[in-house]
Chain A
Amino acid sequence: MSSAPERSLLRRLIEPPAIDEQSPVGRVVTYAMLFVWSLVVLVPLYWVLITSFKGPGEVDNGPFYIPFVDFQPSLAAWDFMLLRNNTLGPYLNSVVVALASTVLAVTIGALAAYSLVRIRFEVKLAAVALFILLLVALIIAVTSFGVGWLVALTVALALFVIGLFTLRGRMKAAVGNNDIEFWIISNRIMPPIVAVLPIYVMFQQLRLLDTQAALIATYTAVNLPIVVWLTRDFFAAIPIDLEESAEIDGASKLRVFLTIALPLVRSGLVATFLLVLILAWNEYLLALFLSNAKAQTMPVLVSAQNTTRGPQWWNMSVLIVVMIAPVIVIASVLQKHIARGLLVGAVKG
């Protein structure tokens, strides 16, 4: 490789000078292609941003590209959307729903993931079968025979407890940790549209439709499988000796979880938290079903702009900018953790 001077110009251009370097031509091509994709990423975002500083005149009279050069930016749309239009309500809804559901999902999910990694479970298959049987009977009784659902629920619960005691110690076949884990994670395969109709009816019966509580509960459930899937790998990666020595000292599993396991997986939990936060922030379909006016979230508000007053791009752009700005900030913090977290998950499944 040191004999570079004798080589022809062409060879020097297309051959790498060293093993861990690129040839000049290769480098130019690489940077050119990366530059093109950077444009693909940035142009849409740029266009939304500058459109939010335009007015009807600037949008309708053909495309203008650079503020202060070919059009005079104004804050009129921002002023209208943020101060005079009711944007703050949905924005607050989005913040509350996303934060609360994420806290809940990560807490519940991490607890479940940890115990599934560290504690051996054996759930009797017969108990599971009994449970599902009673559930189906309950639903048929309520829907077809008009039994009050509170009565039916009590009866079913009582039957279930009695059944558990009679079954105790008789059946051998059991469901283990991997099965429970698979069952929780596999819920992500289910398209939400299948579940959302009954959830809608359920919240209607509980008079919780169009409240933040309904959205928080549903988002928690939807994101729970992801939390379990991601955090289980973080917990599994902790050397077990640390925890065992703590347990010998007499600490309970819960205490070991709180004082030893949690601090060790802190960065993984933060990444999971941010990822789930963004998923909850962006969620559209469930909010479309479960919220109407009071609990409306940002994605629903944005999609509703079209039908109420036609495409007023300048106002819409303001909404989109305030909706995606926090997400972009989080994303730039998050990308490193996500790659690692997903990679661990992807390899182990």
Chain B
Amino acid sequence: MTASADSAQAAPQATGWAEWLDRHCGPVMVLPAVIVILCFALFPLIISAYLALSRFALAQGGFTLRFVGLANFRKLITGSQQYHLLGTFGSLSVFQWLLLALVAGLLVHGFWRHFTRGRPTILGVVGRLITASMVMGLATLAIATSATGGVPGTVVNTLLYVVVGVAVQFALGLSLALLCGQPIRGRNFFRVLFFIPLMVTPVGIAYTFRMLADMQKGPFAPITQFLGITEWSWATEAWSARLMVLVGDTWQWTPFMFIVLLAAIENQPRDQVEAARLDGANGLQVFRDITWPAIAPVAATIVLIRLIEAFKIIDLPNVLTGGGPGLATESLTLHSFIAWRTQDLGGSAAVGYTLLFISTVICVSFFNFVVRPARGSET
């Protein structure tokens, strides 16, 4: 803004213009990025907040927006759409109460340790309170909707993809990286091969897995025929459909964990490993005492990156199952998309904001309580 005015004044003299650019080249170089992010992230975010608080209606020659306060959120959390976002609550058995108590106990333990061992600060306590209430709320939601009579909503579905998906992908990626990190031939061949799924278009993966899982015509049809379950379809059962989404997601994202962890394992201190081997340490001991401490910071960071991306899942559930059966595989992003398609812009933005809130709190908490300590332990 001021830049154009200044340059207009400086333009007559060529040296003046060059000098101006020289002095101000920092802002000039950053400005494009800042403007792009402002236009496509900050403005939309603010407008979205406004949309989430209003009701959208088509009118003659355009549309109208009416400010309705928190009505959209009320509808989602306690009103007619509660079953969709949060799910239907079942009745808890003793076991599930115990599970809840366990989660609560762990959180209290975390607080206790913070007060007794660390130096508690106001900010630290507030941060831990936010994290703890989010974890407790989500755990309650997950347990209550998966109890008898309950039906999980889109929050719990997304959480399932995030928690179970990322955990499985991390475990598989780490095992493969450890296998490949051993002195074997053809490591580079495996590295290239195992990397490929990460780059394959998710929509393509979804259709491919639909083909593979076809009970009558897929490659595994002889097996299903042998077992006599050709008439059964994974797409009609809630948990088998969710499992399919997880399988596709795992096929795609395990390579990400694998490739970075393998690079980290190759970077671990070789001499320490050899010294430990000479002293007669077995594989498990080497892993626990040398490899794991060396790769922990990287591991924590890539899990964080993966968490961030996992919350955004839409391609696989949308194409693989269309969110069904019912809403068994619908993620939050898909929920928001479906609301948009039915012209419920306010509801769509409210779901989007719910997702933004949950993923931000979880990712920031993970960064503070897992990634930071993991990095700190290294230095």
Contacts and interface: CB of A to CB of B under 8 A. Distances in A.
What is the predominant secondary structure among interface residues of chain A facing chain B? helix
A281 interface: yes
B201 A197 contact: no
Contacts of A299: 201-204, 315
B221 A62 contact: yes
A194 to B, nearest CB: 4
Given A253-B29, A282-B201, 7 more contacts: A41-B251, A44-B209, A45-B208, A112-B29, A194-B349, A222-B40, A342-B263
A41 B336 CA distance: 32
B10 interface: no
A192 B336 CA distance: 11
Contacts of A157: 1
A194 B262 CA distance: 35
Contact of A195 (B40, B192, B305, B363): B40
A19 B277 contact: yes
Contact of A189 (B198, B200, B315, B363): B363
Given A22-B182, A218-B40, A254-B25, A44 B205 contact: yes
A48 B196 CA distance: 15
Contact of A191 (B217, B251, B311): B311
A271 interface: no
Interface string A292-307: 0000001100110110
B194 A37 contact: yes
Interface string B130-154: 0000000000000000000000000
B1 A327 contact: no
Contacts of A334: 195, 199
Chain B residues touching A, range? 35 or more
Nearest to A115: B29
A335 B201 contact: no
A300 B277 CA distance: 53
B12 to A, nearest CB: 20
A161 B3 CA distance: 11
* Residue of B27, B41, B50 with most chain A CB atoms under a 10 A cut-off: B41
B312 A288 contact: no
Interface string A309-320: 001010011001
Interface of A: 19-22, 26-27, 30-31, 33-34, 37-38, 40-45, 47-48, 51, 59-60, 62-63, 65, 108-109, 111-112, 114-116, 119, 121, 135-136, 139-140, 143-144, 157, 160-161, 164, 180, 183-184, 187-199, 201-202, 217-218, 220-222, 224-225, 228, 252-254, 257, 278, 281-282, 284-285, 288-289, 298-299, 302-303, 305-306, 311, 313, 316-317, 320, 323-324, 327-328, 330-332, 334-336, 338-340, 342-343, 346-347, 349
Contacts of A60: 217
B274 interface: yes
Interface string B245-269: 0000001000000011011100100
Given A157-B1, A228-B33, A343-B267, A43 B183 contact: no
Interface in B19-36: 21-22, 25-30, 32-34, 36
Contact of B196 (A21, A41, A195, A257): A41
Interface stretch (B71-79, B92-100, B113-121, B294-302): B294-302
B308 interface: yes
B208 A44 contact: yes
A332 B196 contact: yes
